[in-house]
């Protein structure tokens, strides 16, 4: 859910900031941050310098070991100010900038990079991966977390129930085509709602961008919701949750 560099989000910054807050939303706390820290092998003695693009208000930075240096970049001045107000670490810095444009930083020796819940809101992700390629050192690890592109496609995927089988299923109407999808930030307001943009890309398209920019995927993880339902539909809903992952996570290594 990190705020991406897209101008359609400028009018919903306050809403977004409230949703994530200082500790992150539920899935930040229960699924995403523990997974990212594990993949980055972030133990209490870990050192290094992490580059976090489309960092939002720096939710990841506040969970890093004390000795890890951190640079977070986001297009929203409001979210960068929020990050700075919540994070007083002398090892952390926050900069305003579009992750899909030339970055203002000069370092080319970051030991790891992250793009967390932002790729699906970026119109030109290839340029973001190019920036990681420029600024990460050889053999650096890049972690990309996104809403699962195979199962969570805005306006093109939905839940259904097969009454005969007593089974909840996932319906996918489109997948392979790249899509630019307008989303109502506040559906209850209908036509009065501010619109944001979401972008869908197939897994093969994302992997081709990583390859083109010098990254080799070392692992793919799919993370499911850990929530549990109660009531008469609980068994069906819990089974569906365990079968259709919410998030796709790519761990890639810079090859040169």
Residue-range definition of the domain harbouring residue 35: 7-151+199-230+247-254
CA-CA distances (angstroms) from residue 123 to 7, 91, 116?
11, 31, 15
Please report whether residue 180 resides in a domain: no
Please report whether residue 218 resides in a domain: yes
Per the model's pLDDT, the better-predicted residue between 195 and 51 turns out to be 51
pLDDT tens for 189-211 read 666 657 788 999 999 999 999 99
The structural domain count of the chain equals 1
Name residues whose C-beta falls within 8 Å of residue 133's C-beta, 6 or more positions apart in sequence: 213, 214, 215, 254
Q: How far apart are CA 94 and CA 135, in angstroms?
A: 16
Tell me how many helices (H) and strands (E) the chain has.
7, 11
Cα–chain center distance at 127: 16
pLDDT tens for 59-95 read 999 999 999 999 999 998 989 999 999 999 999 999 9
pLDDT tens for 131-186 read 999 999 999 999 999 999 999 999 999 999 999 999 999 999 999 999 999 987 65
Please report whether residue 21 resides in a domain: yes
Closest by Cα among 7, 93, 18 to 58: 93
Please report whether residue 205 resides in a domain: yes
Please report whether residue 171 resides in a domain: no
Mean pLDDT of 210-238: 97
**CB-CB neighbours of 234 under 10 Å:** 11
Grade residue 25 by pLDDT with cuts at 50, 70 and 90.
Answer: confident
Q: How far apart are CA 101 and CA 139, in angstroms?
A: 23
Please report whether residue 107 resides in a domain: yes
Q: How far apart are CA 72 and CA 55, in angstroms?
A: 5
Q: How far apart are CA 48 and CA 196, in angstroms?
A: 35
Please report whether residue 73 resides in a domain: yes
CATH of the domain at 137: 3.40.50.150
Does the global pTM surpass 0.85? yes
């Amino acid at each position: 859910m990190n705020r991406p560099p897209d101008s359609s989000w400028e009018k919903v910054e306050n809403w977004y900031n409230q949703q994530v807050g200082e500790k992150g939303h539920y899935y930040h706390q229960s699924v995403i941050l523990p997974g990212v820290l594990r993949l980055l092998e972030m133990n209490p003695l870990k050192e290094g310098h992490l580059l976090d693009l489309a960092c939002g208000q720096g939710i990841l930075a506040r969970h890093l070991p004390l000795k890890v240096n951190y640079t977070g970049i986001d297009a929203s001045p409001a979210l960068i100010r929020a990050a700075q107000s919540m994070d007083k670490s002398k090892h952390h810095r926050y900069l305003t900038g579009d992750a899909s444009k030339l970055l203002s930083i000069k370092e080319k020796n970051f030991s790891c990079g992250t793009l967390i819940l932002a790729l699906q809101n970026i119109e030109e992700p290839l340029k973001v991966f190019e920036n990681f390629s420029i600024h990460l050192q050889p053999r650096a690890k890049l972690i990309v977390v996104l809403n699962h592109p195979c199962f969570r496609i805005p306006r093109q995927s939905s839940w259904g129930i097969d009454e005969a089988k007593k089974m909840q299923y996932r319906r996918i109407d489109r997948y392979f085509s790249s899509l630019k999808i307008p989303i109502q930030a506040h559906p209850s307001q209908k036509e009065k709602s501010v619109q944001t943009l979401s972008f869908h890309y197939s897994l093969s398209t994302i992997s081709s961008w990583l390859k083109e920019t010098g990254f080799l995927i070392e692992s793919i993880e799919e993370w499911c919701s850990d929530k549990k339902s109660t009531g008469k539909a609980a068994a069906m809903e819990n089974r569906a949750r365990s079968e259709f992952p919410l998030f796709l996570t790519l761990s890639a290594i810079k090859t040169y």
